[in-house]
Amino acid sequence: MPLITLYHLMPSLEIAMPKRVRSDINSAAESKSPKKKARNDISVLSANTCGFDSSKWAKLEKIADDKQIDMVVMQEGPRPGVADDIIDSSIWDLYSASEYPDKDQLTIEGKKASYTFSQGKNYLTAVRKSSKKERGLSITAGHYKPTRSPRVCKLILGDNAPPKRDASKRVPKRPVSDDKVRLLGLRAPQALQLTVPGCQSVALFNYHAPQGSGSSVGYSGMDAKSGHDLMSEYMKDDGSAEHMLVGDQNAEVAALKSHYHGYDVISAGRKDKLSHAVCSSGLHAEKIDLDGAGDEFNSKGSKGCSDHSAYAFKFCIPETK
């Protein structure tokens, strides 16, 4: 009987081992590969980018790539021309808007508001082209028109608001408060409309809440509360099925919840108590763990950083019934 040695067994071992190794490698690759998103699952990264430059965008884009983010929503963003020179247009579609309210929205009942904030800032939203193509995501620039909102008119005009007047009766007008009219001059949001085929519409408001001088408990600046008083009423009159207010809210969680009853709130993190997303409960919004990268963005003076934390969340647009 021939002697069987380890040498004779080696060929079979050489064949078997690569198969096992290949199987392990394939399993590992499958576990690490990104899961395909449902067409109505959308993810958003939000950041205040004061002093926007290429290093800040590089840091945000890395976070967006690592976490499969569909939209990057920025406050205190750059002028459109600056963004075009920095952000790759073959990857991202850009939507820009001014923080100025429209001029035709400053006057009500013959009284005109003045701009009540430092000027020259912009909003910028970057939407991944592949997300739009693969899932049919459509983004439309909306219009923020507070004087067309019955609830905002009621907030500003009180008993003089048109919806409460009976045309058959003569109702004496009361003086309109200048303090209320000035609400129209507060920093305006960027309004965007999100749609996916077969799903309900979503209104996204990219918002850098006003601050103003002084302070108020739970807010950064006296105007922050006034801004949310106005926005919460405006969102009630918006005709979209679902709503979200994303950005630098200059308000702490408890204060914010006092304005937006029934909404879910996603907060930035430990280093930033003022940045949040307010989302309709029907969107089932969930925070995305950025593994510390969001708080690292909050390091004013450091290259590629700002003075607020970046944060991200995902939501599911409900299907049309």
Q: What integer best gives the mean pLDDT of the chain?
A: 87
Per-residue pLDDT reduced to its tens digit, 21-67: 444 444 444 444 456 678 899 999 999 999 999 999 999 999 999 99
Categorize the per-residue pLDDT at 216 as very low, low, confident or very high, splitting at 50, 70 and 90: confident
Rounded Cα gap, residues 123 and 208, in angstroms: 8
132: pLDDT strictly greater than 90: yes
pLDDT of residue 20: 44
Per-residue pLDDT reduced to its tens digit, 167-211: 566 555 667 888 899 999 999 999 999 999 999 999 999 999 998
* Helical spans, DSSP H, in the chain: 6-32, 54-66, 80-86, 129-135, 150-157, 178-181, 222-237, 253-257, 293-296
Strands (E), 134-284: 138-141, 190-195, 202-208, 242-248, 263-269, 272-280
Categorize the per-residue pLDDT at 123 as very low, low, confident or very high, splitting at 50, 70 and 90: very high
> What are the respective helix, strand and coil percentages of the chain, to the nearest 5?
35, 30, 40
pLDDT of residue 169: 60
253: pLDDT strictly greater than 90: yes
Side-chain-facing half-sphere of 31: CA atoms under 13 Å: 6
Rounded Cα gap, residues 181 and 283, in angstroms: 33
Structural domains in the chain? 38-316 (3.60.10.10)
82: pLDDT strictly greater than 60: yes
pLDDT of residue 38: 87
Categorize the per-residue pLDDT at 264 as very low, low, confident or very high, splitting at 50, 70 and 90: very high
What is the pTM assigned to this prediction?
0.85
